[in-house]
Structure 1
Amino acid sequence: MADHQIPDSKPRVPLAAILTVFAIILLLAAIWKWSSMLLMAFGATLIAIALRGGASLLRRLTGIGLKPGVLICAVAATLSLLAVIAFAGPPISAQFRELLSSLPQAWQQVDDWLSGSSFGQFIERQLDNAQQGGNGSSAGSSLPSIFGYLTGTISSIFGKIANLALMVTVAIFLALDAQLYRRGGLRLVPLSYRDRAGQIVDEIGKALGRWMAGQALDMAVVALATFLGLYLLGVPLAPVLGIIAGLTNIIPVVGPFISGVPAVMFALTQGVDMAVYVTLLYIVIQQLEGNLLMPLIQRFAADLPPAMTVLAIIAFGSLFGFVGVILATPLLLVSIILVKRIYVEDVLGDRQDD
């Protein structure tokens, strides 16, 4: 009687599938390990897109070459920054010293205002309880920890400046010869997918360019409106606070709070009423920007869903810290394009018109 072999009921996993899983795991681990470098590279890419956009504008207006235009834009941006520091530095320093000297008076005004309300009295009681529940350490014993904190802060500031300089340098090289790096990146893609990858890369570049152009216009309008409002109210450092408001407006939701804190602090030197007026000014500007200006800009720039933008800020901020918050919107824009083109269209086959 012939022996009958019982077939194996468990299907064997192909070796290629196992290697693919391990490769994906290693890739994800490398991305997480090098997340800081990748975020710096992404920031450099955004700066390079801005430099090439300025160079393209110069070429249309003057006929100058693209590479010289990139260098001209980089030098012009650097000189502008140095000029702002040189001309605005002394008055900023003087008014900042004035702010420090007037902070006790401003705090006294806030304390009087809080003492006159039940909510303020509740806060003061909680602060007193927290102080009584402390460890009772003296100021002298805390000096080493304070010194260590200051040293770490200074080192962190210099490290951030060095990283920014490195990122700008990389951005200049990317902008000078973008096609070289584009071709090099596409060489890593299999031949059968290379044309499709090139289309997606070009779409991402154009989308980021439109987003940056729209953000630049939005930031300029917010900076000008904030400066004019603070100047009319008589708040110190109105030009600087306007620039801060414009720059931080690139961060959705969080940016207005970041720029509003120093403005309210300076306004407190002139009384609680002035701080209230400044707060109302920022609220009005942000309402006009969010409900009128931004929808107009998004008609030719990237139209991102507000709910996904907020979730992206939370997600990328929790993963990468403050840098993730700053880059959350462009990262969301790139993610949407990749999911739409690669997964929805190429994997699912859903190629509906946008």
Structure 2
Amino acid sequence: MAQPNSIEISWISLWRVLFMLGLGIALYMMRETVAILLLALIVSTVLDRPVDSLERHKVPRILGTILVYLASFVLLAFLFYTVIPIAIIELGHLFNNLGGFVNDSLGVELSNGSAIFTNPDIQRFTGSLLSGEISFIEVLGRLVGGVTFVIATLVLSFYLTVSRDGVKKFLVAIFPDSTEEKVVTLYERTKKRIGKWFQAQLFLSLIIGLLAFTGLSLLGVKYALVLAVIASALELIPIVGPIFAGALAVSIALSSSLTLGFYTLLLFLGIQQLENNVFVPLVMRKRIGVHPVMILVAILGGAQIAGMVGVLLAVPTAVFIQEMAEEWMSVKTSKRKGRLAV
């Protein structure tokens, strides 16, 4: 008589499962702290390069870190106090005219989206930005979940950057000796890839925004500034972003004339051709290796799971997952070759 199959589970396996469940619950309960830590690691990783460059030019590391953080802060604050308030005002006018154009041309009545921009609270907020009554940190805090969140992230990332190889030392401290080398190697590869992607994407966004603004201004398209800002920002979203930015600009141009709409379409097609055939090969000649579809899925998933914080963490997470997958495939291939050799 056949014996029934039995499944034996060792106490060690059971404790491992319980430990992983407990760790998952603990991380979920501390999700804000984990988000602060991850963002601090990302900020430190991105700003490490310019700080290292200054250090090679005999600038003390602490002074170089302060200079890089101040320069980044001043640049972001400048954008918040100049470009963004004007963009909000132009966006309100854009919605007003776009709604009228669609209603007159297509006979479709849009809901009053411009009410968002004519809302007294939005107008007060825009006025406060233009007058400097509201601080940049407070604005950033509202976007990502609180002033404390922003300050904690900046302070932690600052300390990680000041310390040479601060992130690496942190990883060595929290991981056991058996996995230390693998974790550090994985971090170094991820850091290199994130740094290349960030620099390339920032360059592309600035170039596309500048080309769009120059072209739209020369053509006389309304709201050239806000459309250029949208094109620059949406450059961060692969595939879908540039298409949406171009479609929006063409629809605005069509509200003036069919000819202007046609020339605007040619402008964005030309920009897209320049990007695909000149800028992308030039900027990404050293292969970055992050697939655009993977980035798009990561951004959408991050936004759904954790809002703005999820969007900020999306690309680094996608890069890390890709590095993990490549490491796993490399180990698997090595083992397979070893077995075949035997």
CA distance in 1 between partners of 2:312 and 2:240 (Å)? 9
Pick one of 75, 79, 87 that aligns with 1:80: 75
Pick one of 219, 237, 241 that aligns with 2:205: 219
**Could you say which residue in structure 2 is the equivalent of 1:138?**
none
Residue 19 of structure 2 aligns to a residue whose secondary structure is helix
CA distance in 2 between partners of 1:249 and 1:68 (Å)? 33
Residue 57 (structure 2) pairs with residue 65 (structure 1): no
Deviation at 1:268, TM superposition (A): 7.0
Distance change >3 Å, CA 273–CA 155, structure 1 → 2 = same
**Could you say which residue in structure 1 is the equivalent of 2:16?**
20
CA distance in 2 between partners of 1:307 and 1:86 (Å)? 34
Q: Is the 8 A contact 2:140 2:150 kept in 1?
A: no
**Could you say which residue in structure 2 is the equivalent of 1:141?**
none
Residue 304 of structure 1 aligns to a residue whose secondary structure is coil
Mind listing any 5+ residue stretches in structure 2 that lack a counterpart? 112-118, 124-137, 338-342
Q: Is the 8 A contact 2:238 2:292 kept in 1?
A: no
TM-score, scaled relative to structure 1 = 0.69
Paired residues for 1:135-174 under 5 Å: 158=142, 160=144, 162=147, 163-174=149-160
Structure with bigger gyration radius: 1
Q: Which deviates the most, 329-338 or 81-90?
A: 81-90
CA distance in 1 between partners of 2:282 and 2:297 (Å)? 23
Distance change >3 Å, CA 207–CA 20, structure 1 → 2 = same
Distance change >3 Å, CA 9–CA 77, structure 1 → 2 = closer
Residue 186 (structure 2) pairs with residue 200 (structure 1): yes
Which residue identity does 1:46 align to in structure 2?
Answer: I
Distance change >3 Å, CA 85–CA 176, structure 1 → 2 = same
Q: Is the 8 A contact 1:223 1:246 kept in 2?
A: yes
Q: How many residues align?
A: 312
Q: Per-residue displacement from partner, 1:79-130 (whole Å, max 9, x unpaired)?
A: 233344555578x28x927x75686555433322114xxxxxxx56xx8xx9
Q: Is the 8 A contact 2:234 2:241 kept in 1?
A: yes
Q: Per-residue displacement from partner, 1:287-338 (whole Å, max 9, x unpaired)?
A: 5424543244333151123443444344444433454345433321111112
Distance change >3 Å, CA 73–CA 211, structure 1 → 2 = same
Q: CA RMSD in A?
A: 4.2
**Could you say which residue in structure 2 is the equivalent of 1:336?**
322
Residue 187 of structure 1 aligns to a residue whose secondary structure is helix
Distance change >3 Å, CA 277–CA 113, structure 1 → 2 = farther
CA distance in 1 between partners of 2:188 and 2:274 (Å)? 33
Distance change >3 Å, CA 81–CA 328, structure 1 → 2 = closer
Deviation at 1:17, TM superposition (A): 0.5
**Could you say which residue in structure 1 is the equivalent of 2:50?**
54
Distance change >3 Å, CA 283–CA 21, structure 1 → 2 = farther
TM-score, scaled relative to structure 2 = 0.71
Mind listing any 5+ residue stretches in structure 1 that lack a counterpart? 1-6, 116-122, 131-145
Q: Is the 8 A contact 1:248 1:259 kept in 2?
A: yes
Among all aligned residue pairs of Structure 1 and Structure 2, give the percentage whose two residues are the same amino acid.
23
